[in-house]
Amino acid sequence: MHIVYNIHFDMITQESLKTQIIKALWQLIIDGEILPDEPLREIQLTELLNISRTPLRDALQHLEWEGIVVSEPRKGYRLAKFSEADIDEIYPLRAKLESFALELSGIPDSIVLDKLIEINLKIINSKSPKEVVELDESWHILLLSNCPNQRLLKMIKTLHRQSQRYEYAYMAMKKKVEKSSNQHENIILRLQNGELQEATELLAENNLVGMDALVNWLRSKNQ
């Protein structure tokens, strides 16, 4: 792991130390400072983050539960490998759960629809791969923000985190997102027309198109 910057922890405020550590580790992952299948060296991480091993291991256990890292007896933790099977599990679940959440949410009001249009324009115009991924997640979460089932929303957010490290790596290769943005526009248009069922179907398709793009990218990467 090649550390090229320092992460500065603020004094613990409303966030728990565990949450701060998870965010710090996540930042290292998405910035490519920790690569797939690379060991997470606890001594190096505790020195970098200025923490003890106990809260670090708590954070690593949480990331293991999310499928981001894996543990091996007597070897410690390592970042999970990229795998086609992982993608094939995550995205169909996202498709089903997000469609269900939108169905429960109903048609968003005009304020939310206008904000969705605004975020999608930012996605189209952004030159930053990292920003595109973050904006895309914001778009999906805002779309579903009126869903009354908080447990469902939590599951969707977990799936987004699991998929994001693929999306960051994919976008870092200068991949294009026009198809996804066009689908966003079509979903918004359906919602503006009061066509909720059609919008939920397009949302599922949006996730599955993303899955296909990532699988094809991973296959080409592994050749």
Q: Clarify whether residues 162 and 214 are in a common domain.
A: yes
- How many other C-beta atoms can be found within 10 angstroms of the C-beta atom of residue 72? 9
pLDDT of residue 129: 87
With a CB cutoff of 8 Å and minimum separation 6, the contacts of 71 are: 60, 64, 77
Contact 188, 120 (CB under 8 A): yes
The DSSP-derived string for 24-40 is HHHHHHHTTSS-TT-B-
Crossing angle for the helix pair 53-65 and 42-49, nearest 10 degrees? 110
CA end-to-end span of the chain? 24
Crossing angle for the helix pair 196-222 and 178-192, nearest 10 degrees? 170
pLDDT of residue 103: 98
Q: What is the CATH number of the domain that holds 182?
A: 1.20.120.530
Which alpha helices (H) appear in 5-149, and where do they start and end?
Answer: 17-30, 42-49, 53-65, 84-105, 110-125, 129-143
**Residue 210 structural domain:** 84-222
Q: Clarify whether residues 178 and 118 are in a common domain.
A: yes
| 117 falls within a domain | yes
Q: What is the CATH number of the domain that holds 22?
A: 1.10.10.10
Which residue, among 203, 209, 212, has the nearest Cα to 140 in the 3D structure? 203
Q: Clarify whether residues 92 and 75 are in a common domain.
A: no
pLDDT of residue 11: 43
Q: Clarify whether residues 64 and 155 are in a common domain.
A: no
Contact 107, 191 (CB under 8 A): yes
pLDDT digit of tens for each residue in the chain (223 aa)? 444 334 444 444 435 888 899 999 998 998 888 999 999 999 999 998 888 899 999 999 999 998 899 998 888 999 999 999 999 999 999 999 999 999 999 999 999 999 999 999 999 999 888 899 999 999 999 999 999 999 999 999 999 989 999 999 898 886 677 788 999 999 999 999 999 999 999 999 999 999 999 999 999 987 7
